[in-house]
Chains A and B, each alone.
Chain A
């Protein structure tokens, strides 16, 4: 029998085999973190189905696909800038991911004030993202884009746009509520007794995932 702790935990391939072997926990993380990862894995498949569906309708339509660069262009101070609002939304979401990463780092250090404040900053950035998305939606609806048709080209464009960005926006909105709830609980001293601030990391995983999905939507829907 092995006596020291390090002998029981080999790394790399050996660690992979021994971790999956019987009579012990497979994942050496808390159940909350493991379940968040597994939820995110399932969500990966949901978003992948949307994006694959988008690929199918775009590849199989006989009508020309609308040029996203032009559809999402804005006139700012007399200048015609393509895709500008989407670019700003991308930068805002990356910034919020950065503040969330900082919050997680302060969570590890049990610096609860800084962790909670950075989470609130993240939630506010997320809220501004949702606001800009609402603006984008109302602008496109005003221009006549509907799930069943639009003035720019292939009618599938509208259904993909509302489905994919709508589902992502829903994730961002839920994330804002989730982060705000956790931040308020931290400030109220809910985790003081256990001294375990892992919830910051778990909610951070969710938020980074929302940013991750946007990376794919930005590349495949807006830029392609």
Chain B
């Protein structure tokens, strides 16, 4: 029980961060959201549009998880338990992308009247 309390207070101590850090991340998130809105406002198209959208999305997600959700200050056991399982989604995305290509092809071949 005493050990529990000790680790708990240690945890709380290392979790205190200056307000300025949150304000900086907040401003950065605002800036990145503004940039991703600009992508649409300027009507960028093609590879440039998609890569910019994905880059800004990844940066915002990374900032929220690591700083706002305090993931960067957690221990490696928790980080791995939470962040590694979603990686198998990339396989799922890959499989479903192939499946949709196949569906589209069959629809074009057999179901569209031209």
Contact = CB atoms under 8 A, between A and B. Distances in A.
Interface residues of B, number: 60
A5 B22 contact: no
A204 B68 CA distance: 9
Tell me the dominant secondary structure on chain A's binding face.
Answer: helix
B2 to A, nearest CB: 12
A222 B40 CA distance: 9
A223 B69 contact: no
Tell me the dominant secondary structure on chain B's binding face.
Answer: helix
Contacts of B53: 219-220, 223-224
Contacts of B39: 223
Nearest to B103: A60
A20 B112 CA distance: 56
A15 B77 contact: yes
A218 B40 CA distance: 11
Contacts of B74: 29
Nearest to B60: A215
Contacts of B103: 56, 60
B64 A208 contact: yes
A12 interface: yes
Interface in A92-127: 94-95, 97-98, 100-102, 104-105, 108-109
B77 A27 contact: yes
Interface size, A (range): 35 or more
Contact of B19 (A44, A102, A209, A211): A102
Interface in B73-114: 74-78, 80-82, 85-86, 89, 92-93, 96-97, 99-101, 103-104, 107-108, 111-112
B61 A216 contact: yes
A59 B86 contact: no
A105 B29 contact: no
A41 interface: yes
Given A60-B100, A97-B68, A83 B40 contact: yes
Nearest to A206: B69
Contact of A215 (B57, B77, B111): B57
Contacts of A201: 15, 70
Given A101-B68, A223-B40, A55 B100 contact: yes
Interface string B30-56: 100100110111010000011001101
18 contacts: A15-B75, A15-B76, A27-B77, A38-B81, A45-B86, A45-B89, A48-B86, A48-B89, A56-B96, A62-B104, A83-B37, A90-B37, A91-B30, A97-B29, A97-B68, A108-B12, A215-B64, A224-B50
Given A52-B93, A220-B53, 17 more contacts: A16-B77, A27-B75, A29-B11, A37-B78, A56-B103, A60-B107, A62-B108, A83-B37, A83-B40, A98-B22, A101-B26, A105-B17, A204-B69, A208-B69, A212-B61, A219-B36, A223-B39
